[in-house]
Chain A
Amino acid sequence: MDAIATYALRLGDDSLIISQRLGEWCGHAPALEVDLSLANVALDHVGQATHFLNLAGEIEGKGRDGDALAFHRDVMDFTNCLLVEQPNGDFAQTIARQFLFSHYQELLFTALAASRDSRFAAIAAKAVKETAYHAVLASDWVVRLGDGTDESNARMVAGLDWMWRFADELFVMDEIDAAAVAAGVGVDKAALRTAWDARIDAVLADATLARPAARRPVLGGRAGRHSEHLGHLLSHMQFLQRAYPDATW
């Protein structure tokens, strides 16, 4: 795959993997309304993934579509960031992951909507409205749990503390990003960091939470170096296509 196809692949993989994680909550969330909201957010992410993975396949030009890319690749070929593959943990940990990711994705899509490549711009402009909703939903829960009971506060602190180490990777620029930016297609992610920090800090202040202590960032997802968790996730997500390749119904 060339740089632009890989760029689309990464966007699609982020959305696909977090949607699969959110889908794991279906029928298990703490309340019916929460169950519905997590499933709806998952659905939005599936939609983003479908568009970006189809686009990656189209640019690659080897006849692979979004389904082929989602279901016929193994763990080391996935290019998602490590944040999205982290296990759900408890509800607070899931919210922490969504909170960090959705604010990033909203800023990213806002910028990507101005891409010179109309295909990227169209998907981003469409998805950013949904992503804004996700960011507000997650932020509301961060405040509610953080500024809630001792128990909910402790869980929110622990959830954020776990996810925090994966936040830096969101803003890392490598040669693929540089090529996409140079072509006028992609976004300078490093430049989003200040705005992201300001958003996160404002919500944390509302939630009476301290910013988690800086940790050594964990990187590698974009290059296919994943945690063991992703393989297990794929074994569920890809089960049917692994057992019955190219099954249709």
Chain B
Amino acid sequence: MVSAVTAITQTDRIRAILSRVPDPEIPAVSVLDLGIVRDIAPGSVTITPTYTGCPATLVIEQSIRQALDANGFAEVAISTTLSPPWSTDWISDEGREKLRAYGIAPPPKGASASMLKNQELAECPQCGSSNTEEISRFGSTPCKALWRCKACMEPFDRFKCH
């Protein structure tokens, strides 16, 4: 009984710590918001990369390590898994709202299977208009495309559906 309670408390505490670890490329959202943390168990944290070549992957692992160490969880191991592959559907609702507030149009939910052609128009994170167009399929990071709002004329990043 006691050990079970301790285990629950421990994973909750780790979850709280990870909710304060920012993504290095998009510091407005945490590694939890982005769905990078796949599993938290007593003694281990499992993470998954967003893109295979995402240069932030190593930094993310180091940030998590640092945060765990600093909060007395030095014995908690971090492992990485590729399967099942990360998708933008794993970004939490809270994470989507934080992205929008930060100026990045969040990806539509549940669309990762049909992501390519006939992609629905992004909503401008500045003015909310859907009168927008894609400028470039690839943006400032692997996970973002470059869009432009034709209503307020502001360019913006869109988190790619993946």
Could you list which residues of chain A lie within 8 angstroms of chain B, going by C-beta atoms?
Answer: 33-34, 36-37, 39-48, 50-51, 118, 121-123, 125-127, 129-130, 132-133, 136-137, 140
Contact = CB atoms under 8 A, between A and B. Distances in A.
Contact of A36 (B52, B115, B117, B139): B139
A33 B138 contact: yes
Chief secondary structure at chain B's binding surface: loop
A131 to B, nearest CB: 10
B142 A40 contact: yes
A136 B117 contact: yes
Contacts of B117: 136
A36 B136 contact: yes
Chief secondary structure at chain A's binding surface: helix
A40 B112 CA distance: 19
B52 A51 contact: yes
B84 interface: yes
A113 to B, nearest CB: 9
Contacts of B72: none
- Size range of the chain B interface in the assembly: 20 to 34
A34 B136 CA distance: 8
A37 B82 contact: no
Contact of B53 (A47, A121, A129, A140): A47
Given A37-B136, A44-B142, A133-B137, A125 B83 contact: yes
Q: Which 8 A-B pairs have the closest CB atoms?
A: A47-B53, A47-B52, A33-B136, A122-B83, A37-B138, A43-B53, A122-B82, A40-B138
B135 to A, nearest CB: 6
